[in-house]
Amino acid sequence: MKTSMAEGERKTALEMVQAAGTDRHCVTFVLHEEDHTLGNSLRYVIMKNPEVEFCGYTTTHPSESKINLRIQTRGALPAIEPFQKGLNELMAVCQHVLDKFEASIKDYKDRKASRNEHAF
């Protein structure tokens, strides 16, 4: 049973595939136009969630640019929840990295400028 999320002619970016007979706690997400860049980092963040029993991703074929990301949760938690939580956490990590990086760059430039002033 496939549930695709697309409206009109916009290409689906994300599909959920669920095997027959299981409930919503084991789902494979098909992410289009993605590769190891998002796949591995998302897998890492989702695996850090103690409610997740299994999380793994594969690239289907090098000619196709999509990944299959499978999440199985402990208990009856719907698999879409750790997926969403993982995306939010990854965004929070990126935001924090960006803030720290820009602060560090600014700090370096200020130190360099003050060093140049002392040289004169």
Partner 1 sequence: MAAAQAVEEMRTRVVLGEFGVRNVHTTDFPGNYSGYDDAWDQDRFEKNFRVDVVHMDENSLEFDMVGIDAAIANAFRRILLAEVPTMAVEKVLVYNNTSIVQDEILAHRLGLIPIHADPRLFEYRNQGDEEGTEIDTLQFRLHVRCTRNPRAAKDSSDPNELYVNHKVYTRHMTWVPLGNQADVFPEGTIRPVHDDILIAQLRPGQEIDLLMQCVKGIGKDHAKFSPVATASYRLLPDITLLEPVEGAAAEELSRCFSPGVIEVKEVQGKKVAIVANPRLDTFSREIFRHEKLKKAVRLARVRDHYIFSVESTGVLPPDVLVSEAIKVLMGKCRRFLDELDTVQMD
Going by C-alpha positions, the residue among 87, 75, 74, 76 that lies closest to residue 29 is 87
Please state the closest distance from residue 120 (CB atom) to partner 1, in A.
Answer: 20
Cα angle value 13/87/2 (rounded, 5°)? 40
Asked if 80 touches partner 1 (CB under 8 A), the answer is yes
Answer for which of 58, 105, 110, 114 binds partner 1 (CB under 8 A) is: 105
Minimal distance, residue 96 CB to partner 1, in Å: 6
How far is it, in rounded angstroms, from Cα 116 to Cα 110?
A: 10
Residues in the chain: 120
Q: Which of 17, 24, 26, 38 binds partner 1 (CB under 8 A)?
A: 38
**Site for partner 1 (CB under 8 A): which residue of 22, 58, 60, 88?**
88
Smallest CA-to-CA distance from 85 within 98, 103, 73, 96 is with 73
Judged by the rule CB under 8 A, the positions of this chain that interact with partner 1 are 5, 7, 13-14, 31, 34, 36-38, 40-45, 47-50, 80, 83-84, 87-98, 100-105, 107-109, 112
